Amino acid sequence: MGQDMTREASESGTNDASRTTLHAVVAQQTALIVDDEPVSRAGMAARLKRLGYRVLQAGDGKAGLELLRRERPDLTILDWMMPELDGPSVCELVRRDPEVFSSQIILMTGHDQPEQIAEGLARGADDFLSKAASPQEITARVQAGMRAAGLIRRLEHATDEIRRKQEAIERELQSAARYVVSLLPAPGLLLPGLEMASAYRPSSALGGDLFNVLRWDEHSLGLYLLDASGHGVSPALRSASFSTFLRDDNLLHRVGSSDPGAILTEANRQFPLTENGSYFTIVFARLDIRTHTLFYATAGHNGLLLHRRSGEICYLAQPSLPLGFDAGNVYHTADTQLSPGDRLYLMSDGLYEVPSPTGELWGQARLETSLREAAAKPLADALSHAIGAAEQWLGHQQFPDDIAVMGIELAG
């Protein structure tokens, strides 16, 4: 309380100490006076210097504009009528210049008719000052203009700071995104007679979907695709952590088996629902290349699709709980027989749940159609075709959810 009263007294007081304080506060601010008439320009310059401002002067509109662009004064006091470039024209040029458009400008004129004031403001002035104004009014308007200029400067600095921080975060995200992509397996031949292709399109810089291939031994492979709920940094971190658990050496050590059901049962114990309700869905498969038998288990994940050479398409996943919902849940392994020429797709639901501009989902039937259309094309082209069709349905290229697809094809 005592402190407040002291401050109030000092701000409203007229003693030398309060003047010194006021001058110190405004010392950094610069005023530019643009007037072709030297007597009133000199009078105004002296007044502003007395108020503690740094003062710049120009004798015509063109020189004033140059000085304004070079020196970025906090406040410009601009005479209306000047030869060649008049005050309102200078205002218009300033407002069109992105480097200086936020400058504070007071237009000054000998006339102060309402129409002229309206025109001056419409052409870009912030305030208006009559040449016949009293010293008190001039001081008050200049100080108001300087206050506004100070606020604008602070806003601009804050905006720059936010932009810099945003750019730093973007760079971090891009770097993290490159790391996530580096975790993904390279497409191509996994084993003789077994080709893999994939597509990965995170909805933002970082995605929560991840897939990989494990080489159990020379005859069998593990394949998984997981989808962390949500998208962005947190799901991406959780997925990366989960993928460490899913490394083949870790699984053999922790689970002691390459059986998909046993692996998901253990993963379900290791990755419970988080405090804010985050969870994983996953499809995990083991392919025996000698017998062409596919063993698989799913946890809350529907995206396991078999496209047979015959043209038949079937979804292999059975209804099941996502990981983490029930610690005692046991996930069972199912199996099916693949034939040469068959294609198996592991995918996140982001692909077939792409909405059209009216909100209708692309859906599994349209996905099947697009995969059939590309059945004769190489596997990678079939994937591109399906993603292209989904993009067309969406109407643009920025998917609202992460999209990950891994396809494998047994040589026919």
Partner 1 sequence: MSNEQIFSLTEALARTDQDVELFQTLAELFLEHGPKDMDEIKTALDARDAAAAGRSAHRLKGAVLQFCAPAALEAAMRMEEAGKAGDVAAAAGLCGKLESELSRLLDALRQAMDKGLAA
Contacts with partner 1 by CB under 8 A lie at: 35-40, 42-43, 46-47, 50, 79, 81, 83, 110, 131-132, 135
Spatial separation of the C-alpha atoms in residues 382 and 388, rounded to whole Å: 10
Quote the least distance from Cβ 40 to partner 1, whole Å. Answer: 5
Phi, psi values for residue 302, rounded to 5°: -100, -10
Query: Which one, 37 or 391, has the nearer CB to partner 1?
Result: 37
User: Residues with Cβ < 8 Å from 401, sequence gap 6 or more?
Assistant: 203, 231, 348, 349, 350, 353, 354
User: Residues with Cβ < 8 Å from 45, sequence gap 6 or more?
Assistant: 33, 55, 57
DSSP string, 349-384: TTTTTPBPTTS-B-HHHHHHHHHHHTTTS-HHHHHH
Query: Which one, 81 or 273, has the nearer CB to partner 1?
Result: 81
Quote the least distance from Cβ 63 to partner 1, whole Å. Answer: 16
Tell me the residue type at 16: D
Query: Which one, 54 or 131, has the nearer CB to partner 1?
Result: 131
Spatial separation of the C-alpha atoms in residues 94 and 78, rounded to whole Å: 12
User: Residues with Cβ < 8 Å from 187, sequence gap 6 or more?
Assistant: 196, 197, 198, 380
Query: Which one, 102 or 143, has the nearer CB to partner 1?
Result: 143
User: Residues with Cβ < 8 Å from 296, sequence gap 6 or more?
Assistant: 260, 283, 284, 285, 286, 304, 316, 333, 334, 335, 336
Quote the least distance from Cβ 91 to partner 1, whole Å. Answer: 19
Quote the least distance from Cβ 90 to partner 1, whole Å. Answer: 17
Spatial separation of the C-alpha atoms in residues 76 and 152, rounded to whole Å: 14
Quote the least distance from Cβ 205 to partner 1, whole Å. Answer: 59
Decide if 87 contacts 80 (C-beta within 8 A): yes
Quote the least distance from Cβ 34 to partner 1, whole Å. Answer: 13
Query: Which one, 42 or 168, has the nearer CB to partner 1?
Result: 42
Query: Which one, 38 or 272, has the nearer CB to partner 1?
Result: 38
Query: Which one, 142 or 282, has the nearer CB to partner 1?
Result: 142
What separation in angstroms does the CA of 118 have from each of 88, 121, 213, 327?
A: 11, 5, 71, 73
Cβ atoms within 10 Å of 294's Cβ, excluding its own = 23
Quote the least distance from Cβ 60 to partner 1, whole Å. Answer: 12
What separation in angstroms does the CA of 159 have from each of 28, 154, 321?
A: 21, 9, 46
Distance of CA 285 to the CA centre of its chain: 35
Within a 13 Å sphere around the CA of 326, how many CA atoms are in the beta-carbon half? 8
Query: Which one, 58 or 383, has the nearer CB to partner 1?
Result: 58
Q: Which of 52, 55, 49 is nearest to 23 (CA)?
A: 52
Query: Which one, 38 or 340, has the nearer CB to partner 1?
Result: 38
Spatial separation of the C-alpha atoms in residues 343 and 309, rounded to whole Å: 7
Quote the least distance from Cβ 22 to partner 1, whole Å. Answer: 15
Quote the least distance from Cβ 92 to partner 1, whole Å. Answer: 20
Query: Which one, 90 or 214, has the nearer CB to partner 1?
Result: 90
Quote the least distance from Cβ 131 to partner 1, whole Å. Answer: 5
